[in-house]
Structure 1
Amino acid sequence: MSGVERLGLRVSSMINHPVAQAQRWVVIHRLDTDGDREWEEVLGVIADTEELELTLNDDGSVTVRWEPILLEDRPAEYADEQQEEPAPF
């Protein structure tokens, strides 16, 4: 697994964490093991994602914020997936 993949997984996990999803923001800290190229590449992907707002903090961390996506604004393939699976209860 490359450094970019490892960092991407860590960031994705942080964004998808239930607390982050509830508050719709997360602070990402750069670890000593995160290389310059990997950090810049992952931040570039975040910055290029329309739904995400990126704020560079004074301490070198990054705050990622997002607004909730309304059901009618979600991609059609996501809406179709949600309708196909019945609730497990």
Structure 2
Amino acid sequence: MSIQQMKKDEFREAISGVKRLSLRVSEMINNPISQLRRWVTIHRLETDGDREWEEVLGVIAETDELGLTFNDDGGVTVRWEKQEADGLDRGEPEFYPEEEPAPF
């Protein structure tokens, strides 16, 4: 196997590692219990590489709506505020009636 092929394999492995970790974190955040609490603690697994872990945490840190707390045990707690949908949960109508009735 050539060095170039080994680098391609490593790159492919890293991409799948990032995707795998991203999916796991996304599932944890979207879990109904996490959504009710508005926080979740993520722990790094043995299969999570340094690069993958740093990349996913970097994306989370750059997201304005999410806050990170680094715990003593190595876990990371992700917190967020309840987001209100425009017009929903506030009693506002989703559409506004026309001021004049249509001529037909």
Same fold (TM over 0.5): yes
1:7-22 equivalence runs, <5 A = 7-22=21-36
Displacement of 1:71 in angstroms is: 1.6
The letter of the residue matching 2:67 is: E
Cα distance in 2 for residues equivalent to 1:68 and 1:21: 9
Cα distance in 2 for residues equivalent to 1:3 and 1:51: 25
Structure that is richer in helix per residue: 1
Q: Where has structure 1 moved over 2 Å in runs of 4 or more?
A: none
Which ranges in structure 2 are unaligned for 5 or more consecutive residues?
Answer: 1-14, 88-94, 96-104
Cα distance in 2 for residues equivalent to 1:40 and 1:19: 26
Cα distance in 1 for residues equivalent to 2:36 and 2:59: 22
The yes-or-no answer on 1:55 pairing with 2:69 is yes
Structure number with greater Rg is 2
Alpha-carbon RMSD across the aligned residues, in angstroms, is 1.7
Give the length in aligned residue pairs: 74
